[in-house]
Amino acid sequence: QVQLVESGGGLVLPGGSLRLSCAASGRTVGNYAMGWFRQVPGKEREFVASINWIGGTTEYAESVKGRFTISNDNAKSTLYLQMNSLKPEDTAVYYCAGAKVLGWNTLSGSNEYDYWGQGTQVTVSS
């Protein structure tokens, strides 16, 4: 089992920045695809970004390309999402997720992930 705990959410002005963190613990041996998703009430959970933990391959949703950066620190077993130029439509609960993979691929479907954090609220408002 893998446990994921997000942190770093909060209230930020439009145009501002936030960095989310996701600390992983438990049986983390092997390669994983790690992802960030977000969800607003009444809508489906939406893919934001994914990274292959060992290979470093990344994938982004079109809506966040050029503004968000996903990264990881293997020594700290921590996943990050740097969010710049934030917009009100980025407001959501952000979740990190993980799934064991055999290759260097990323994953963009929520049903492909086995492990989920509890979520952290990001609110972009003036």
Q: Which two tokens stand for residue 14?
A: 């439009």
pLDDT of 1 strictly over 90 = no
pLDDT of 108 strictly over 90 = yes
What is the Cα–Cα distance from 81 to 102, expressed in whole angstroms? Answer: 23
pLDDT (tens digit per residue) in 17-52? 999 999 999 877 789 999 999 999 999 999 999 999
Q: Which two tokens stand for residue 43?
A: 């809508």
Sign of CA dihedral 92, 37, 23, 57: negative
pLDDT recorded at residue 29: 77
Helix %, strand %, coil % of the chain (to 5): 5, 50, 45
Calculate the average pLDDT of the chain: 96
